[in-house]
Structure 1
Amino acid sequence: MTDLLRDNATAAEATTLPPLGPDSVTWRYFGDWRGMLMGLWSGSMQNMHPKLAAGVWDHSDFFGERWERLLRSLYPISGVVFDQTPETGQQVRDYHLTIKGTMDDGRRYHALDPDVFYWAHATFWFGNIRCAEAFGPPISEADKRALFEESKNWYAAYGISMRPCPDTYEEFLDYWDHMCRRVLRDHDAVRTVLDITSLPVPPWARPWLPNWVWKRQVTVVQRLFMWITTGLYDGPIREMMGLTWTDSDERRFRLVGTAVNATMNLLPSRYRRHPRARDADDRASGRVSPDAPLLETPTRNLPSGAERDNPIHYCPVHAGRRANLPWQSDEVND
């Protein structure tokens, strides 16, 4: 297990990289609600890694409680960036300690294999660039390179071997292209992520959205999000998945992105942010005490029954501060 977490050549680097702060480029781009448009892209790209797909398929209850798992996972994942402590990263890492097994071809897998864990991390940090390019805010080449450099600090917070990390942004782009062309594969876990037609009403909408209304419009939502996801994919991924993308699609995709950016710019900057990111901004500005408990997911997103004791779940049952709604962060409950 120690070999999976660190190796001698990279342990020192992992322990000396400082946490990211309010002045980082990552704080500026990560945690924006535009990222929700990336949901199917992120989930499917992760599950295209054969070993990661096997772990999800064999161990995760993601497909039984997809909304809750997604919405509650945003808190610790965001926290690795915004909490300014390595403890959050180590907690996220340790949710994966028991996720291991054997693939259909006889190869063994472990969620903490550095090559597997780094691929998941790559989809998160590189998703900032994909999101900004598609939906804004506009991003410069300098900011792309800064995001890459800061992604090393972000990844170091997990306490896993830094070996898979490319040294430069250009080397990362080569790594990404290699993964898309040579390593990633279609899998049932990928197709299940991409199919949202069987999903129930989102937890936050259940008080006001009737089930019959949701059922009538979910196929339209499915087509829209699948189209958006296709636009976000690299060419080799579209080819592997048997998806078509025309010049007309590309023009409409850019128009949609412009409209999303314009709409988001109408909102106060505070309400463009996920609650955990907004809470970090509040701590940095003094609006919230630095000693206040971290803001945690609403109770409705927690796993139910015996699953609350399963160590693979993020489940802060005793947290003192919770967000009531995805767009509100100031409430104190429980």
Structure 2
Amino acid sequence: MTELAENDAANDTPPDALPLGPQSLVWRYFGDNRMYLIGPRPAVLQNMLAELGQGVLDHSVFFDDTAARVKRSLPPIFMTVYGADDANEGFNVRDFHHDIKGEMPDGRRYHALDPETYFWAHATFLEQVLYFADTFVKKLSQAEKEQIYAESKTWYRRYGVSDRPMPADYAEFERYWKRMLDETVVAHKTAQYGVGYVTKGFPCPKGVHPAVWRVVSVAFDPLAAFLTTGGLPPQARRLLGLPWSDRQERRYQRFAALWRSRPVNWLWDRLPMSVRYNKYAQQGYSRADAGA
């Protein structure tokens, strides 16, 4: 695809999609700093697709320096969403994946740019928006879920990858998501490693003195385990063997309801933008305000 064609594709919003921007629900929720409350849900689910998990295992620094991988991967994805139509990181994100390919243990070949694999990675980010908003902000209406999905189609097309596997509408996406969780995802080694701290405790981060971490981890480890396990679908918990009781589920639902409550939302909405949103979202809103 030529640069001109890429720019044309980025600027056009097909009739089956909705645009991104300050009016969009994807913008409202994706860069919200309360997103930390869902734990590593999208990353864990991504790595439960065998081909994607294998790609991370073979090519990523995930096992040696998890934080470095997160810091490298997330900014361009945020800028795919919050960048301008003709100045976003989507094509660069795609190009990062050209050489991520190899062989599965059973001899099958994999490639990160296989449309089904690439769309699954995107689907976990889209579902992250839906799950986060519906769980920790407000119960979404059906119309709001459909709007988020229509906006996500514009988001996905910014990568310049085939949209052949992309469901036509939100109802079809729901069926796709259920089928993937029920029939396709597995307890890949990469996903298991990513949630190992739930039962073993979080390793001491680089740059933190072990003595300090021993004190901090007393509070951090239980909270991280609670948010990580509670934030995963039941199918993923079962496959990964993560302990979770009915009592813990009730606690998680009470915790989520507290965040959704009117007083908490009222207070959050009155905090400075720099507290409520990450810097990529702030940049997007500032650019939109300047151009208004």
Would the aligned equivalents of 2:61 and 2:68 in 1 still touch at CA under 8 Å?
no
Cα distance change, pair 240–198 in 1 and its aligned pair in 2 (3 A): closer
More helix by share: 2
Measure the CA separation in 2 of the matches of 1:213 and 1:255. 31
Any idea what the Cα deviations from partners look like across 1:276-318, whole Å, max 9, x if unmatched?
A: 00111111122xx89xxxxxxxxxxxxxxxxxxxxxxxxxxxx
Q: Is the 8 A contact 1:14 1:162 kept in 2?
A: no
Structure 1 residue 226: deviation in Å? 2.6
- Tell me the residue number matched to 1:57: 57
Deviation track 1:239-277 (CA, whole Å, cap 9, x = no partner) reads 222335443222211221234456575341512101100
1:105 corresponds in structure 2 to 106
The verdict on how the C-alpha distance between 1:173 and 1:283 changes in structure 2, with shifts beyond 3 A counting, is same
Q: Which residue matches 1:32? A: 32
Distance 1:15 1:51 in 2: 31
TM-score between the two structures when normalised by the length of structure 2: 0.84
TM-superposition CA deviations, 1:44-102 (whole Å, max 9, x none): 10000000001000000122221232134332111111102354100011111110000
**Higher mean Cα deviation, 233-242 or 218-227?**
218-227
Distance (whole Å) between structure 2 residues aligned to residue 75 and residue 137 of structure 1: 26
> Is 1:281 aligned with 2:285?
yes
Q: Residues of 2 paired with 1:220 and 1:240: CA distance?
A: 27
Q: Is the 8 A contact 1:114 1:164 kept in 2?
A: yes
**What secondary structure does 1:254 align onto?**
helix
Secondary structure at 2:168's aligned position in 1? Answer: coil
Asked whether the equivalents of residues 11 and 85 of structure 2 are also in contact (C-alpha less than 8 Å), the reply is no
SS in 2 for 1:277: helix
Q: What CA distance in whole angstroms lies between the structure 1 residues aligned with 2:71 and 2:276?
A: 16
Paired residue for 1:159? 160
Percentage identity across aligned positions?
37
What is aligned with 1:237?
236
1:215 aligns with 214
Per the TM alignment, residue 220 of structure 1 is displaced from its structure 2 partner at its CA by 4.5
Task: Check whether the contact 1:230–1:243 (CA below 8 A) recurs between aligned residues.
Answer: yes
Where does residue 4 of structure 2 map in the other structure?
none
Q: Contact conserved, 1:17 with 1:156, CA < 8 A, in 2?
A: no
SS at match of 1:109: strand
Tell me what 2:255 maps to: 256
| Amino acid of the structure 2 residue aligned with 1:20 | L
What is the CA RMSD across the aligned residues, in angstroms? 2.5
Alpha-carbon distance change, 150 to 48 in structure 1, aligned in 2, over 3 angstroms: same
Q: Distance in 1 between matches of 2:265 and 2:52?
A: 33
8 A contact 1:181–1:237 mirrored in 2: no
Amino acid at match of 1:275: K
Q: Distance in 1 between matches of 2:11 and 2:163?
A: 10
Instruction: State which drifts further: 271-280 or 216-225.
Output: 216-225
**Could you say if the C-alpha distance between residues 199 and 92 of structure 1 is closer, same or farther in structure 2, counting changes exceeding 3 Å?**
farther
- Answer yes or no: is the 8 Å Cα contact 1:102–1:109 preserved in 2: yes
CA change 1:65–1:15 in 2 (3 A) is: same
Matches within 5 A, 1:101-250: 101-196=102-197, 197=201, 199-201=203-205, 210-218=209-217, 220-250=219-249
Q: Secondary structure at the match of 1:98?
A: coil
Aligned length: 273
Give the equivalent residue in structure 2 for 1:320: none
* Paired residue type of 2:284: A
Q: Is the 8 A contact 2:60 2:69 kept in 1?
A: no
The verdict on how the C-alpha distance between 1:242 and 1:62 changes in structure 2, with shifts beyond 3 A counting, is closer
Letter in 2 for 1:107: R
- What is the distance in 2 between the residues matched to 1:69 and 1:186? 20
Tell me what 1:296 maps to.
none
With 234-243 and 40-49 compared, the bigger mean Cα shift is at 234-243
Rounded Cα–Cα distance in structure 2 between residues aligned with 1:113 and 1:164: 10
Gaps of 5+ in 1: 3-11, 291-334
TM-score normalised by L of structure 1:
0.74
Kept after mapping to 2: 8 A contact 1:133/1:139: yes
